Amino acid sequence: MAVGADQWPDMHSVKGFRLGTTKAGVRYPGRRDLVIMNWNQGSSVAGVFTLNKLCAAPVVLAKKNLGNSPEYFVTNTGNANAGTGQQGMKNAQAVTGALAEMVGLPADKILPFSTGVIGEPLPVDKICAGLPTALESLSGDNWLHAAEGIQTTDTRPKGSSCQFEVDGRTYTVTGISKGSGMIKPNMATMLAYIATDVNIDQSLLQSMLLDIANLSFNRITVDGDTSTNDSFMLVATGAAGNEQLTGVDIELFKQLKVAVTGVAKELAQAIVRDGEGATKFVTVKVEEAETVADALEVAYTVAHSPLVKTALFACDPNWGRILAAVGRAEIDSLEIEKINIWLNDVALIETGQPATTYTEEAGQQVMDGEEITIRIQLGSGVVTEEIWTTDLSHEYVRINAEYRS
């Protein structure tokens, strides 16, 4: 399945879930920039949000309203409504209040989301003026337009969808995401929305979502910056008609978790593949760690190293930069004589020393590729973890230098 590629993947409609969009002119002339999502009453809704302590007003309000059995999401792009103080909260409430009045619901049934430039006042009038058109376009087949409507510096929409069968009944999982820069989710400028027609208890859905976030959106980094607005939402409409799931030992729950995890991973990796200025998709895999925390500390230390990232961009097999990054990871169980490192299948370090089989030509061949795996073996335990990242290019600097111009 192609995700985040030039060809949009086949997206299955989710029974009981609808999406509508419009061009409200928030920041980008002529682009879809306002998205409304709605689902059947009685659906279960779960969410995971950024841990940035200065999170945006819409995140604060969405977290507050999540426990009120919400029925709508409203997302604007082009403006993050972050760093906007009390007025930012009033503006977020003005948008949810306007939508609530239009659909005849209390305002606390609406969850707002914003993405874009930090520190600028939200253009409430433009957003509210666009709400009726977005409502009129609500449809179960609107996934592509919705994916386009949540983009900022993204170069393409990102979507993923699958179906699976249990006991003769077919179930659907479909989702979209946005993100290209300011990407190091910690939850959870990324947003992700996934919907399924499975009937599942809300508390069980929330618990499942936390696990899935840690296997997908919490395993990606483009530039190491955690946004003020990161949100990952999961809606289960129950429209498939199964008996409500309340336990983890049921086959349908197991299959649902596999399906949602797969969609979430594809959406997360699509964000990395579309990283600002990225020319490489890089997997950093750490094996034989003592703990998950140790594995991720090593992986992120390598992935966030500007020297490693620029070497990747330059296609330079300067493996000393990788070794140095591993060595400065803040873990107690690191012993140099146990370390093995590979670029794809090319051995760089064996038991802490340069691999006798390594040649510059073999390293260069790996670095010239668009997809690279840096595999690091610590020799101190049995834990394996991997994350996905990019290189750091001239284009990344240009995009972010010109972001507000």
Provide the CA 176 distance to its chain's centre, in angstroms: 9
Which DSSP state fits 380? Answer: S
Whether residue 50 is predicted with pLDDT greater than 90 in this model: the reply is no
Whether residue 4 is predicted with pLDDT greater than 50 in this model: the reply is no
Task: List, in sequence order, the alpha helices (H) in 176-305.
Answer: 202-215, 251-273, 292-303
221 is catalytic: no
Compute how many other C-beta atoms are within 10 angstroms of the C-beta atom of residue 323.
18
Q: What pLDDT sits at residue 187? A: 38
CB 285 within 8 A of CB 376: yes
What is the H or E stretch that residue 175 is in? strand 169-178
CA distance 56 to 84: 8
CB 193 within 8 A of CB 70: no
How many CA atoms are closer than 13 Å to the CA of 199, on its beta-carbon side? 11
CB 279 within 8 A of CB 370: yes
Whether residue 273 is predicted with pLDDT greater than 90 in this model: the reply is no
pTM summary value:
0.88
Going along the chain from its start, the domains and CATH numbers come out as 17-273 (3.60.70.12), 281-401 (3.10.20.340)
Q: Which of 22, 75, 77, 189 is catalytic?
A: 189
Q: Tens digits of per-residue pLDDT, 212-253?
A: 998 998 888 766 655 667 899 999 999 999 999 999 999 999
Nearest CA to 157 out of 36, 8, 12, 279 is that of 8
3-state secondary structure of 393: coil
- Choose the weakest-confidence range: 37-46, 105-114, 142-151, 312-321: 312-321
In the block, residue with structure tokens 């990952």: 232
What is the identity of the amino acid at 401?
A
Task: Give the β-pairing of 371-377 and 281-289.
Answer: parallel
DSSP lists the bridge partners of residue 111 as 73
Which DSSP state fits 244? Answer: P
Q: What pLDDT sits at residue 400? A: 65
DSSP lists the bridge partners of residue 166 as 169
Whether residue 188 is predicted with pLDDT greater than 50 in this model: the reply is no
Q: What pLDDT sits at residue 3? A: 40
CB 126 within 8 A of CB 26: yes
Helix, strand, coil percent values for the chain (each to nearest 5): 35, 25, 40
Q: What pLDDT sits at residue 225? A: 56
CB 298 within 8 A of CB 385: no
Task: Give the β-pairing of 191-196 and 169-178.
Answer: antiparallel
- What phi-psi label fits residue 40: left (phi over 0), alpha (psi between -120 and 50 degrees) or beta? beta
When pLDDT is averaged across residues 347-372 and rounded to a whole number, the result is 95
What DSSP string runs through 81-143?
A: --S-HHHHHHHHHHHHHHHHHHHTS-GGGEEEEEEEETTS---HHHHHHHHHHHHHT-BTT-H
Angle at 323 between CA 322 and CA 324, to 5 degrees: 90
